[in-house]
């Protein structure tokens, strides 16, 4: 066989692989949509899973997803404990039950389809490929989301049987359910040591006192004067901050207020289907006043539920670096919500 015959065969194999891969992807998405008649169906929660996977990968320090998923179990459970501390036990059980059922369905579905994706790689003699690599991160995110919820559910009084009725594959394993405290190596877990850890992991030194951002509340945002695409970009960023650890009722109220301040139509915004990269590109030339106004909105969202979660911190850190917001925003939020 000549070199051109070899290249032709290789090209045909890649084409066949892509076709078979698309079939598996379509089947996976169809399975997720099979419960779309239910309230808050699986695709809604799978979007959250994928967003969390982005954080996991960005802050993995080159570790494999299986090496950090236990840390995220611990963090998810901790954030639920803070977020739902003022809710009635009945309401919390309802919230956790929904999550266990949805995350359990998603995780079980992903395990099944991961086998198909790996079988496809073996058939076409591929050690790995881009979709499978990202799917692995998403699966670890689903795993940590599921067991982080189970962790908190057991703490508030749900039983193993309650969990099994929602996620039939559940078998209690203390090591899995408890997760791993990523800060347990930091002696005392005090604020100064956490600040040091943030600096090492994000590059932001929150011990440096920067000038506080002057945030003045206005009845009509100056950002409403921007072109509609930029306003969509701003709301996209704000939505990601609110939704990175699941949107609370209070955050939803703030987002609705911001929609009015930005003077955007939410249906038209949804139809624009803007992603984070597009939003970031559109916001590179904001003035200082416009950046401070964006910071004001971020402060409102973070403060809505009275908690600056680790995932919110990562998003705010990324937005600060990518768009060029003042570092004092992160300092202000950390000092306000991460108390000794």
Q: Taking Cα atoms as reference points, which of 167, 185, 165, 189 lies closest to residue 177?
A: 167
Q: What is the pLDDT of residue 83?
A: 81
Which contiguous run of DSSP H or E holds residue 104? helix 89-123
Count the neighbouring beta carbons within 10 Å of the beta carbon of residue 181: 14
Q: CA 258, CA 252: separation in Å to the nearest integer?
A: 10
Read off the pLDDT of each residue in 28-54 and give the average, rounded to a whole number.
89
Q: How confident is the model at residue 5 (pLDDT cuts 50, 70, 90)?
A: very low
Q: CA 202, CA 208: separation in Å to the nearest integer?
A: 14
Q: CA 239, CA 315: separation in Å to the nearest integer?
A: 11
pLDDT in tens, 259-293: 888 888 887 888 888 888 888 899 999 999 999 99
Q: CA 250, CA 255: separation in Å to the nearest integer?
A: 9
Domains, the chain, with CATH or none: 3-178 (no CATH), 189-337 (1.10.3680.10)
Q: What is the pLDDT of residue 275?
A: 85
Do 309 and 277 contact (CB within 8 A), yes or no?
no
Buried b / exposed e across 70-98, counting CB within 10 Å, b at 16+? Answer: bbbbbbbbbbbeebbeeeeeeebbebbbb
Q: CA 28, CA 24: separation in Å to the nearest integer?
A: 6
Question: What are the phi and psi torsion angles at 51 (to 5°)?
Answer: -65, -40
Q: What is the pLDDT of residue 148?
A: 96
Query: Average pLDDT over the chain, rounded to whole?
Result: 83
Residue 289 has, within 13 A of its CA and on its CB side, a CA count of 8
Name the pTM for this structure: 0.60
Q: CA 155, CA 150: separation in Å to the nearest integer?
A: 9
Do 146 and 167 contact (CB within 8 A), yes or no?
yes
Residue 300 has, within 13 A of its CA and on its CB side, a CA count of 20
């Amino acid at each position: 066989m000549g070199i051109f015959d070899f290249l032709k065969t290789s090209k045909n194999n890649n084409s066949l692989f892509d076709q078979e891969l698309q079939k598996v992807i379509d089947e996976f998405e169809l399975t997720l949509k099979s419960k779309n008649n239910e309230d808050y169906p699986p695709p809604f929660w799978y979007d959250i899973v994928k967003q969390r996977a982005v954080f996991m990968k960005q802050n993995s320090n080159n570790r494999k997803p299986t090496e950090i998923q236990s840390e995220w179990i611990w963090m998810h459970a901790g954030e639920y404990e803070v977020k739902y501390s003022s809710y009635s036990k009945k309401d919390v059980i309802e919230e956790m039950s929904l999550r266990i059922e949805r995350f359990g369905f998603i995780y079980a579905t992903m395990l099944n389809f991961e086998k198909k994706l790996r079988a496809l790689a073996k058939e076409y003699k591929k050690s790995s490929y881009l979709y499978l690599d990202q799917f692995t991160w998403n699966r670890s995110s689903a795993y940590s989301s599921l067991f982080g919820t189970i962790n908190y559910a057991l703490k508030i009084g749900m039983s193993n049987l309650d969990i099994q009725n929602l996620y039939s594959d559940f078998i209690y394993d203390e090591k899995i359910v408890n997760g791993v405290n990523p800060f347990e190596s930091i002696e005392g877990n005090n604020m100064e040591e956490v600040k040091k850890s943030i600096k090492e992991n994000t590059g932001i030194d929150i011990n440096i006192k920067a000038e506080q951002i002057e945030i003045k509340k206005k009845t009509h945002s100056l950002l409403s004067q921007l072109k509609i695409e930029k306003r969509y970009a701003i709301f996209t960023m704000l939505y990601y901050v609110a939704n990175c650890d699941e949107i609370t009722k209070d955050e939803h109220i703030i987002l609705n207020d911001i929609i009015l301040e930005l003077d955007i139509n939410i249906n038209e915004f949804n139809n624009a289907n803007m992603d984070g990269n597009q939003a970031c590109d559109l916001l590179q030339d904001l003035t200082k006043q416009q950046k401070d106004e964006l910071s004001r909105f971020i402060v409102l969202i973070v403060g809505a539920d009275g908690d600056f979660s680790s995932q919110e911190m990562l998003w705010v850190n990324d937005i600060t670096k990518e768009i060029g917001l003042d570092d004092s925003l992160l300092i202000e939020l950390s000092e306000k919500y991460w108390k000794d």
